[in-house]
Structure 1
Amino acid sequence: MATALGTALVALTGCTSSNAQSSDDQGETKQAEAAVIRLAERHAAPRIAGADLEGRHTALADFQGKIVVVNVWGSWCSPCRAEAAVLEEIHREMWPRGVRFLGINTRDRQTKAARSFEQTYGLTFPSLYDPSGRLLMQFPADILNPQAIPSTLVVDRRGRIAASVSGPMTVSGLRSMITRVLEEGT
């Protein structure tokens, strides 16, 4: 009973609470450190692919040899709305360094809401449309909890999951997470 209740609480709070941020006594939000995975312990990212929000086939493999930031979001998710400007800012900043972004839109029943979200927040990177969470289920649960929205992963140049965080990112937190992987070289 206690386990079922705990599981239900985690499922219900997936979008609104996370371990990625905490508040100090002054009410400031702090970014928790992302889990950067040691090189020897990294595993290949799943070969996710599908239609993006424009109906074009898009795959993580399209970015082979690049560092890829994968962000899971939903138009219904308040922390995702707050995080959108952060993602676009770092996307534009890191583009010249060869870093690419790929979103995974989840639980939106129609692409219209997701496309409206992208337009409202000025997102210029592609997002796979995953209303059922099928793509999310391909990731190891200890790396990406499908109930924790938003979540962000960094895939290294060799296609391995290099870092992950559950919850909304800050500019400095996302920049730091990507920079650590960029500094690894090839």
Structure 2
Amino acid sequence: MRAQSFAAVALLIAVAGCAGNQGSQPQTGDTRFVAGDGKITLFEAADRKVAPQVQGETLDGGTASLAAHKGKIVVLNFWASWCAPCRAEAPVLKDISAKTKADGVEFLGIDFKDRKADALAFERSHQSGYPSIFDQPGKVALSFQGTVPPAAIPSTLIIDRQGRIAARALGAVKYTDLLAAVTKVGDER
């Protein structure tokens, strides 16, 4: 009987933890977040949706927006310090950002549902070379609902020169796949 009571209390605590504060760091077994395989889906030009307005305070205290990169290819990456696949793909994003910058490709991170101190530590460790908007409440992520599930992390979008969503990857991206997709969208005129 005592073991059943303990199990019931443990279950209640686990359920309460998952349904708790949405802004908190996810706990082990948290099902609010959606995993992906990192496969990049390219959208035909006629099927592309205009990206929503994205702007906000960056982790370093500045500001960033999609509008500031009008006419350029922009790679948006949704990440968080607590996300293991985000840590795994960070070197890929850093390398491709550096490799494509001369071609006019801009990278912008969206730090999602994170603690600022943890996100800053992640940035210091990975030195991405591009800014990240601090999106603790998840408002930027929600603005992409319909294209990216709000709980899919990491996620990467490629925005074309017309400000439309040209490609999407749910999950950690692979180097050759992301570079090929960025190059293909960049070659469009």
TM-score under structure 1 normalisation? 0.83
CA distance in 1, matches of 2:44, 2:33: 27
SS at match of 2:139: coil
Aligned residue number for residue 119 of structure 2? 114
Matches within 5 A, 1:54-69: 54-69=60-75
Matches within 5 A, 1:23-62: 32=39, 34-62=40-68
CA distance in 2, matches of 1:131, 1:108: 5
Q: More deviation in 112-121 or 92-101? A: 112-121
Aligned residue number for residue 28 of structure 1? none
Aligned residue number for residue 154 of structure 1? 158
Mind listing any 5+ residue stretches in structure 2 that lack a counterpart? 1-18, 20-29
Mind listing any 5+ residue stretches in structure 1 that lack a counterpart? 1-7, 21-31
Quote how far apart the aligned CAs of 1:75 are: 0.2
Aligned residues: 162
Larger radius of gyration: 2
Greater than 6 Å deviation, 4+ residue runs: none
Identity percentage of aligned residues: 40
CA distance in 2, matches of 1:140, 1:80: 20
Q: After superposition, what is the alpha-carbon deviation per residue over 1:111-164, rounded to whole angstroms, capped at 9, x for unaligned? A: 2211110110121100000011111111132x1111110000000001011000
Which of 133, 152, 164 is matched with 1:128 structurally? 133
Letter of the aligned partner of 1:94 in structure 2? T
Which of 8, 19, 22 is matched with 2:37 structurally? 19
Aligned residue number for residue 11 of structure 2? none
TM-score under structure 2 normalisation? 0.81
Which of 75, 78, 84 is matched with 1:78 structurally? 84
SS at match of 2:76: strand
CA distance in 1, matches of 2:186, 2:83: 29
CA distance in 2, matches of 1:98, 1:13: 36
Quote how far apart the aligned CAs of 1:67 are: 0.1
CA distance in 1, matches of 2:152, 2:53: 21
